[in-house]
Amino acid sequence: MDDGSLIQSAYMDYQSTTPLDERVLAAMMPYLTTKFGNPHSAEHRFGWEAEVALDVAREQVAKVVGAQAETITFLSGATEANNLALKGVLDVWGEKQPHLITVATEHKCVLEAAVSWERRGFNVTFLPVGRNGLIDLKQLKASITSETALVSVMAVNNEIGVIHPLHEIGALCREKEVLFHTDAAQAYGKIPIAVDKMNIDFMSISAHKIYGPKGIGALYRRRSHKTALEPQMLGGGQEGGLRAGTQAPALVAGFGKAAQICGQEMAQEEGRLRTMMIRLIAGLKKAAPGMIINGDTGSRWIGNLNVCFPGLDGDRLFADVRGLAVSSGAACASATTGPSYVLEAIGLSDSEAKSSLRLGIGRQTTDGEIDYAISKISEAVAKQGGCSKEGFTK
């Protein structure tokens, strides 16, 4: 076990981003140096070398979810993938089926893309979630009509880590003959996903959430006439005409390697993180018996812990845990003021949301960092006299 007493800081914001794996960097380096060609240059070996990098990575990314290589479109990240999926479906099917269903706790880019449907005069249903952060499948079923084109439900929530039932949602969408999109930025490479068994039509993926480089991601798109999309980026016809612009072979190669590693090490990593998370929760509960875990305690990604310390001053709490890289919510919403909209959606008051911390652990997390986090948070809680469940919203 690492000696936590020697640690002066700890990174526990793995939902925001992950450090680049050294093996990923090694895979990228040739395409940053000697193999610098444009993959769209079909007349010489420099272009051929770059194109091979894309072909290999496409296979690597697809294999993790049981997909075919040709179903993977490389983009700048999950935000672009979410926008392409929602807006692309709207442009093709909106006039015939002008209804979208999504969830109030989705990533900001999904919610904003949904709002764009409304701006164009189409209909959007924003499903609420329960105190556990999960949707009601009966309510989803009741919301689907003959005009519904797409259901978009996040696989793993980026703030509270809950896992939505993709199997059940996919089966319902197939039964109702509507398209199913999932933002899997926090799930891909971490939990088992099978696009065919889960009836997933579109899936958004981000490399920097799986120890790959920033600036690259992908959209999985099932090949069928129903999954036709209108491109949102026009130009030279790259990526099968779905996303124009010169591809970045170094980023793509890194993405592919990161995906391959996650696929190979998923089960082992899940077990290691589970052991660490159990110890982290136990240590925090010992120091703060009134601590509440936000979101379902059973159906959740084990690398995410979002906890509320009822009665504590949130600003003081964050000030007292400096040196510990944690957050109060999603990094994408950090420019906005006020408490997390996700925590509000599960029923927390403003004060409860502000006294909540999101801690994320991952591949580089050590036992010493777990001990450091327990120590820092315990000290911060003790400075305010502890916390209590009294007054917590049920």
| 375's tokens | 């120590």
Q: Write the single-letter amino acid at 364.
A: Q
Residues 284, 377 contacting (CB under 8 angstroms): yes
Given the residues 109, 173, 262, 332, the one annotated as active site: 332
How far is Cα of residue 286 from the mean position of the Cα atoms in its chain?
30
User: CA-to-CA distance for 346 and 308, rounded, in angstroms?
Assistant: 12
Neighbour count for residue 202 (Cβ, 10 Å): 27
In angstroms, the CA 14 to CA 209 distance is 7
* Residue 119 parent element (H or E): helix 108-119
| CB contact set of 232 (below 8 Å; sequence gap of 6+) | 80, 83, 84, 87, 88, 243
Residue 113, amino acid: A
Amino acid at position 281, single letter: I
- Residue closest to 374 by CA, chosen among 304, 321, 298, 327: 321
Q: How many CA atoms lie within 13 A of 147 on its CB side?
A: 10
Measured on CA atoms in the order 295, 158, 196, 363, is the torsion positive or negative?
Answer: negative
Length of the chain, in residues? 394
- How far is Cα 49 from Cα 38, in angstroms, rounded to an integer? 9
H-helix or E-strand spanning residue 378: helix 367-383
Q: Is 31 exposed, middle or buried (0-12, 13-18, 19+ CB in 10 A)?
A: buried
**Any catalytic annotation for residue 332?**
yes
Rounded CA separation 294/92 (Å): 38
Within 10 angstroms of residue 82's Cβ, the number of other Cβ atoms is 31
> What are the backbone dihedrals phi and psi of residue 218, each rounded to the nearest 5 degrees, phi first?
-155, 160
Q: Which residues are catalytic?
A: 332
